[in-house]
Amino acid sequence: MVKDGNNGAASFVPDRLDLASLRTAAAGCEGCDLYRDATQTVFGEGPERARFMLVGEQPGDQEDRRGHPFVGPAGRVLDRGLEEAGIARDEVYLTNAVKHFSFTPRGKRRIHQKPTAAEIDACHPWLDAELAAVRPEVVVVLGATAARALLGPSFRVTRHRGEAVPLGEAVAVATVHPSAVLRAPDRDAAYADFLADLKAAAHAA
């Protein structure tokens, strides 16, 4: 397939919108330039008819190397929060707004770099396809990048976190990305707020 610079990932999305077909097609996506330096596409994971879809920003260093979403330190925060909020992992589909790791090399380290608006927009067809395939009841929006992708550039997580807002046939509940909990000066307070948002999402289902 030829990359269409104006179309992002759209030309790579298959006609068949089941998760297996989407994952296979996404492995070859060249809808933006992030694929050039990333190790691999990190597609979403979870059951086809999950009640909850959790959408983060992008894969991190460990996710990029291992090929699975939320397997690094932020993922451990998320796992703890889901358990304490009463959200079973077998009811959760995990994905990111952007499917390739965006980073800046610094010596042997790869430093996370926030995806650009163009990269978020280019990857959006995959997110639309995942929503169509999974048809979740509740979409948990993790951080500003996911909020921009799903709720628009004017949405502010800090202003509306924990609130249930319409999103197609589902409802969306926004909170911070779990990595923000790890960076917070008061990690316990940040985690308590994060957990409260996850509990709000659990009650919205």
pTM: 0.94
pLDDT tens digit sequence for 43-71: 999 999 999 999 999 999 999 999 999 99
pLDDT tens digit sequence for 103-159: 999 999 999 999 999 999 999 999 999 999 999 999 999 999 999 999 999 999 999
pLDDT computed for residue 5 by the predictor: 45
Cα–Cα–Cα angle for 72, 22, 61, rounded to 5 degrees: 20
pLDDT at 27 over 50: yes
| pLDDT level of residue 3 (50, 70, 90 thresholds) | very low
